[in-house]
Structure 1
Amino acid sequence: MFQQLRTSLKQSVLGQDHVIDHLLIGMLAEGHVLLEDRPGTGKTTLAKALAQSLDAKFSRVQCTADTLPTDLLGMELFNPLTGSFEQRFGPLFANIVLVDEINRTTPRTQSALLEAMAEAQVTIGDTSYTLPQHFFVIATQNPFDGQGTFPLPQAQLDRFLFKLSFTPLDRTAEKALLRGAHLEAMDLHLPLEQLNAWKQEVAAVTIEDTVEDYLLDVCDALRAHRDIEIGPSPRATLALLKAAKARAWMHERNYVTPEDIKSLATPLLAHRLVLTLEATLKMTNERLVKQTLESLTVPTEV
C-alpha cells in the first residue's frame, strides 16, 4: 500500500521523485516540511494529493501580512442564542495543513505554529487543545521575492524536519505535463489509520553503534566547524535518527545504514545552521554540509 501511495503522488506531481520521497519520510518521522521554490511548481498540488490519497482532513492557510494567530488557531466567540462562549477551531485542526507563503505573515503569526509543530497541541486562551492525529505541516515560501516578507527565525526553521526545493522539469517531464499525464494519477484513498501501522514499523527499525556514532560525528563536526556560529541542536540529532529509520523502512530494511544518514543530512541539517558572516560570502549552508560529509570517514556498510 505504501508503494501505491508513492506511485500515486509521483503521477500527480511529475519529475519530483526526490521531493515526494522526502515528504513521505517527513510524514513517517512525524516531522514537518518546508518547500522553498517559485510559484507554479506544484507545491499545493502535492500537499492536496497526499491528503486525498490518505483520506486525511486537509486545510490550507494563505498567509498575508494581516494574517493573525487566531486565523490559524481559532478563537472563542460569544453565542447570543445560548448566552455562552463557544470555541471555533481554526485550520490547524486538520491532519495535513498547507501553510502557503509562510514568510509573508508576521513573526507574531509565525510563532503561533511553534507549539503546534513541536507538541501537536495549541493553547487558546487558558486552554490547551490536542491537534488531530498525524498532524503534518507543509509550509511553502518563495525565495526569489523578498518584498513584503518576514524571514523565518531560527527557532521556526528548527521545527522543520526538511527544507526542500523542486527540481526543474526536464523536457520529457514537461511534455508529459502538457499532455495531461498528471491527470492520470491513481484514484487512491487509503485509510488514515494505516499510518499508525507504518509508523510502528518505522519505530522498530534498529541502528548499530557504529552507525549511530557516524550520525553523532556528522552533527559534532558541524557544531565544531569554524565557519558555523550555531550548529545542529539536539532536536536535529534526534530528527536525523527518526528520518534515517523512515528512509531505511522505505527501502525495505529493518536497520539504518550510513547511506541513510548521508543522504538525509543536507536537507535535514543545512537550514538549521547559522554561518559566520565571512562564511556566508563564500558558500551556502548546503555546500558546507556536503563538504563536512566528505571529510568524515564512513563506517563499513552493515
Structure 2
Amino acid sequence: MTASLPLPYVVFGVTGRTGAAAADALLRAGLAVRVVVRDPAQGRPWAERGAQVAVADLTDLSSMTKALNQARGAYVVSPQHYNREDLFEIADLIADTTARAAVAAEVPRLVALSSIGADRESATGWIGMNRIFEQRLGATGIPTAFLRAAYFMENWMPLVGYAMCSGTLPTFLAPAQRAIPMVATVDVGSAAAALLQEERTATSIVTLSGPKDYAPNDVAAVISASLRKPVDVAVLPEAEWPNALADARFSKAALAGFAEMTRSLNDSHIDIKSDPNAVEWAGTTTLERVIAA
C-alpha cells in the first residue's frame, strides 16, 4: 500500500513579486506547492524546485477549476490590466471566475491579495478592483483571509532610478514629510504563506505594513545615504501626473483610477486603520533593504 501524497498549496501570481515570494516560502518550508501560470515556460523554474505546475487562464472557468482541484488551500491574486479601458470589467470577470472555480474545486481555504482601502465604498480608484475581488470571494462562503497590503515599497523603484541620475526624487505623494505605511512585496508573500498554513475556519481581514512608516522625504534620505550625495524631493502637482506617467502607457480609465487613488492616499481617505475588523500585521523588511537590493 502506497502512502498518498500531501495536497499542495496552490499559488497564483508567481510571475509577480508576491506570488513568487509566497511559493518560495512554502517550498522552503518543505510543503507541497502547485504554481499556476499562463505560459508553461513560466513554470519551469518552479518545476525544477519540485513544484507542480498548472496552466490556466484567469478568465477561463475550466482551466481555473482544474488548477484549484485537490488543493489544501490557495493564494489568489487579480492582476490589473492598466493598459485597458475596461480594466474594472476585466477585474470583475477575473474575480467572478476565481470565485466560481474555487467553489467548483471545493478549495477549503483561500488567501486573497487585496489592499488597504478596500473597505471604502468609493473614491479609491484602482483599489476598487480589490474591493470587487473581496466581494466576489466573500460571497462564496469559503474561509478567506483577505490580505490588505500597504503601499508597496517597490513602487518607488522607477523613481529611485531617476533620483540616482538627477539628484531629485519625484513623488505623487504629498505632503513630502507625511509618513504612510509601506510594505515590501517579499513580506506580503511571506504573510500569504503563513496565512495559508493557519487552520482558521472563518473569514478574516489582515492589514500588512512594514516595520515602520515612511515619507517621501525618508525615501530621499535613504537614497542620499546610499549615493553619498544630496537628493531633493519634488512633489508633482496633479496637472503633471499624466506626463509623468506617459511611459507607463496607462489607458485613460487607468490614469483616472490612479489619480483618484493617489488623491485619497494624500487626504487619508485611504487609511490602514479605517476598518475596525482588520487584524494588523507587520513585516520585517525595511525600505533601506529594498532600495539597496
Same fold (TM over 0.5): no
TM superposition score normalised by structure 1:
0.30
TM superposition score normalised by structure 2:
0.31
